[in-house]
Amino acid sequence: MTADDGTYVNRADVRPVAVHWGGEMELASGGGWSPWVAFTLGVQVAGLALASAFLFLLHRVLSAAASGDVFSPRAVARVRGMGWLLIAGGVLGFLEWALGTPSKLDYGSSQFGPAADLSAPGPQSIDLTLFAVGALVLLLAQVFRHGHEVESERRMTI
């Protein structure tokens, strides 16, 4: 489709197989949301929410530690919550890896010229780090729970 000023505008449902151009070229987007952009934005917002909740719980645990109330049931629940948030972050990363690749969300990429690459980056493999750290934090929560039991027994001892 040719615009009034003589420029050629490609329809959104047409994907070029091969292009040969000469002279000046200007690339412009027609706007709108693509499923890949919406999915990526959703993953980023969810990740930010998980990180914010984790930092909030960490602040509360450190405040309890500063006041000498490390082994309280609240502190144990907060540490356990931190572990589950880390595991949820690992699940979110897995979902991003499994579902969020640009090709699965119909995000097309094109290459113009020998050096330009307009492909979208995506996760390359599953990252198990958050699962492992989350499991360690859950183990630490069990240690805190045991510490609470020992502390309550110590208080009852004369």
Band of residue 29 on the pLDDT scale cut at 50, 70, 90:
low
Q: Is residue 130 part of a domain?
A: yes
Q: Is residue 72 part of a domain?
A: yes
Q: Is residue 10 part of a domain?
A: no
Question: At a CB cut-off of 8 Å and minimum separation 6, what does 126 contact?
Answer: 93, 94, 97
Q: Is pTM, for the whole model, over 0.75? A: no
The predicted-structure confidence for 56-78, as pLDDT tens digits, reads as follows: 999 999 999 899 888 888 999 99
**Burial grade of 3 (CB within 10 A; 0-12, 13-18, 19 or more):** exposed
**What is the DSSP annotation of 77-100?**
HHHHHHHHHHHHHHHHHHHHHHH-
Q: Is residue 41 part of a domain?
A: yes
Across the range 121-139, mean pLDDT stands at 82
The predicted-structure confidence for 80-128, as pLDDT tens digits, reads as follows: 999 999 999 999 988 888 887 666 666 655 555 555 555 555 556 677 8
Domain count, the chain: 1
The parent domain of residue 82 ranges over: 35-107+119-156
Q: Is residue 145 part of a domain?
A: yes
Q: Is residue 82 part of a domain?
A: yes
